[in-house]
Structure 1
Amino acid sequence: MGNTTNGRLVSLDVLRGFVMFWIMSGEHIIHALAKAMPIPVFIWMSSQMHHTDWNGITFYDMIFPVFLFVAGVSMPYSFEKKMRSAGVKTPMELPSSEKRKIYLSMVKRTGILLLLGFVVNGLLRFDGYDQTRFASVLGRIGLAWFFAGIIYLNFDLKKQLLWLAVILVGYYLVLKLMPVPNFGAGILTPEGSFSSYFDQKFLPGRLHSKVYDPEGLFSTIPAIATALLGMFLGTFLKMEDSFSINKKLLIMIASAVVLIGIGILWNYDFPINKRLWTSSFVCLVGGFSILFFVFFYLVIDVLGFRKWAFPLLLIGSNSILIYMASEGLVNFKHTAEFVFGGAIEFLPLIWQPVFTALSVTFVQLVLLYFLYKRKWFLKI
């Protein structure tokens, strides 16, 4: 199975690092470049480094679901060792005692991600219950991964596919047909969607955007489907002897095209919307997630070109740690300005923000390299 590092598929860590790079500092580099050199390509790239206001999609909207998709791809590999030690070939054959151990570890992992999400949201500032936001990116990853894992452990492939269809179609039907007080049914606006209404009623604390939360409770249900799509890809990749490399690549690309096509067609009736995590959004981004993976898988695991991706490997190997640090727990900009600020002041004023952003990335990569060389990884 391709190249691995410490039992990890290298292309997965690199893809994880690729999407996390834009969150930790890459977006600031692009925005600064667009201001310093406003040529069409940089202006377009800068426009892709923002979330859409509501319906529609940008590259930045894809980052979170691609990360969750990658977590799904890793799932069959993470459970493989437990199946091997139990002497079984499929998760459904695991004895109940072994499954209980796995469930406990899954609950623990999800609980830790929920807690870390609370911390990123400022839980330790003790602003009071009403001002604390409990929904989070890490929490959604934990919950979606957990329920996708339950499906993986208890159902065969056909039933897993059925679960995917039920989640996507069921979510669509609820948002289109379930009436919301004062709005009615099928109103897919920030104030009028059933997902927003559900979170207003049942999500404790503060909502991210007052009337809705992009990582809310109800919209986490279709996020399970995103994790399932990744899980299907991971299951397919583990079929080492069933297909040649060329056939694997063709099947993955064809699957991506089908998913993107479904997403585009569904968009006409159920708009692509990251904040509602609509079913059309799941399909479209699921297709692009496969294409992103195919690129890194082909270049790194099939063709063996790996050295260029080492910075992305550093990020992907400690992605949750650098995400938390970049979300406000560590002031990388202060450190970068302390080290490089004097030199940057000699540059033309218009280019100073570009090199400031680059110096932040450099400081982050130095930290990640230090952790990587000592094999210190935040494993959850």
Structure 2
Amino acid sequence: MQKERLISLDVFRGFTILLMTIVNNPGSWASIYPPLKHAEWHGCTPTDLVFPFFIFIMGTAIPFAMPTKHFDLSVFHKILVRSLRIFCLGLFLYFFGRIEVFSLEGIPLLLARILITFAVAYALLGNFTLKIKTYLVLIIFTVMLFLAYSGIPAYQDVRIPGVLQRIAIVYFFTSILYLKTNLKIQVAVVAFILLGYWALMALVPVPEFGKANFDKATNLAAWLDNLLLNGHLWAASKTWDPEGILSTLPAIATGILGMFIGQVLNMSITKVEIVKRMSIVGASLIILGLVWDVVFPINKSLWTSSYTIYTAGIATISLAILYYIIDVANYKKWIKLFLIWGVNPMIVFFFSGIIPRILSSIKIQNPKIATEEINLQTYIYNDNIVPLFANPLNASLFYALSYAVFWSLILWFFYKYKLIFKV
């Protein structure tokens, strides 16, 4: 039996997903305000908080979703199936634009891809029995991995890691740790992961490159990604992945820190005392992260130990503020927008990634150059939005905000009719 939903956590999740949608969908990647960009390498911008916030929130929700610490084979089965469903949703995003159906091309092929997408989404998000869920996810998972390693040209370099894939892995290990251990062991595991990751990255020589380093493409995490996932990495780098193998370890620590805060929220103490404890923990984590940054720089792509602690601290303070405003002061008049985003996160994440891929697949004649074709997304932005603004940064931001408004209307409809899609 699940505990009553914590509204402040839903609002925090909604704010995070809304920000994610805005930063992931600018009109032009060449025209972005600095706070809406990721740090070039070391450092942390507001955009670099989105992913760790989402993992932190997922960890915080675990004690509410699993109020009774009971672990057996059936519970393990549920956790595994849910993890695989999330993993498959993320993996499918990279398959969408590569799907081939017989000899179809153009609009017929796009329609076939859309139909397959809805079929996969229904299979992974539908409310089936656990037995049927298991069969469906195993079929989808097996088919995608087979295609990725089949040697078929369309799929031979499809990306395997990704945001949802990392979330799935973190959820799997964090859930089991919560059910099998107490707070002391969980804190010890976080310390072991973060110190161990620092030691690996800072002390272990990198094969083929020499001494340990934190540089792009030549650090230990990058070397391991290229060794084990060669040809299936982030297209922008090809030799390393920001959601790679080794850097997933500290991401698990982010989930555990969120889980720790979830247990604080469940303590049998006053709400004001909960806010005080969260504030102390959050401030301590921020300070510790900034101190560690001196020797192990805050870096999202490497998910460094300092980045893990620093972002978890900011997440804790943010949640403490929301918890005080919403659950202590009971001031809730402003929350509806964030609430409708917070209760349906997975469907937003999945389809907000699919829609731009659809728009970029539709080719139309360039109104300015008759002999040239452009995709629909480029046409909407360049020919209908850019002319409205003197500053290209404002045009790009307007496009992102318009996309967020589009999704807000959809989510309001879902919320009004109590349509909540869970993995």
The TM-score by the shorter chain falls in which range? 0.7 to 0.9
The CA distance in 2 between the partners of 1:348 and 1:281, in whole Å, is 36
The CA distance in 2 between the partners of 1:261 and 1:140, in whole Å, is 26
Report what 2:238 is aligned to: 210
The CA distance in 2 between the partners of 1:70 and 1:24, in whole Å, is 17
Residue 166 of structure 1 aligns to which amino acid in structure 2?
F
Q: How many residues align structurally?
A: 345
Shift of 1:307: 2.5
CA contact (8 A) 2:275 2:323 kept: no
Report what 2:200 is aligned to: 174
Residue 412 of structure 2 aligns to which amino acid in structure 1?
Y
Give 3-state SS (helix, strand or coil) of 1:304's partner. Answer: coil
Report what 1:238 is aligned to: 266
The CA distance in 2 between the partners of 1:291 and 1:219, in whole Å, is 24
Residue 233 of structure 1 aligns to which amino acid in structure 2?
I
CA contact (8 A) 2:55 2:254 kept: yes
Q: Structure 1 length normalisation: TM-score?
A: 0.83
Residue 52 of structure 1 aligns to which amino acid in structure 2?
A
Matched, 1:57 2:85: no
Distance 1:183 1:358, change over 3 A: closer
Gap runs ≥5 in structure 2: 100-152, 361-375
Residue 220 of structure 1 aligns to which amino acid in structure 2?
T
Residue 378 of structure 1 aligns to which amino acid in structure 2?
F
Distance 1:332 1:74, change over 3 A: farther
Matched, 1:104 2:130: no
Distance 1:199 1:359, change over 3 A: closer
The CA distance in 2 between the partners of 1:308 and 1:217, in whole Å, is 40
User: How high is the sequence identity, in percent, across the aligned residues?
Assistant: 32
Q: More helix by proportion, 1 or 2?
A: 1
Report what 2:414 is aligned to: 371
Matched, 1:196 2:222: yes
Residue 361 of structure 1 aligns to which amino acid in structure 2?
A
Match of 1:79 among 42, 52, 66: 66
Residue 241 of structure 2 aligns to which amino acid in structure 1?
D
Distance 1:138 1:29, change over 3 A: closer
Shift of 1:6: 8.8
Report what 1:10 is aligned to: 7
Gap runs ≥5 in structure 1: 36-42, 84-90
Q: Deviations over 1:181-223 (max 9, x none)?
A: 2322321111221111111111254211222100011110111
Q: Structure 2 length normalisation: TM-score?
A: 0.75
Q: Aligned-residue CA RMSD in angstroms?
A: 2.8
Residue 223 of structure 1 aligns to which amino acid in structure 2?
A
Distance 1:47 1:106, change over 3 A: same
Distance 1:348 1:377, change over 3 A: same
CA contact (8 A) 1:332 1:363 kept: no
Report what 1:40 is aligned to: none
Distance 1:191 1:30, change over 3 A: closer
Match of 1:48 among 19, 22, 35: 35
Give 3-state SS (helix, strand or coil) of 2:243's partner. Answer: coil
Give 3-state SS (helix, strand or coil) of 2:167's partner. Answer: helix
Report what 2:122 is aligned to: none
CA contact (8 A) 2:3 2:64 kept: no
CA contact (8 A) 1:134 1:205 kept: no
Matched, 1:19 2:19: no
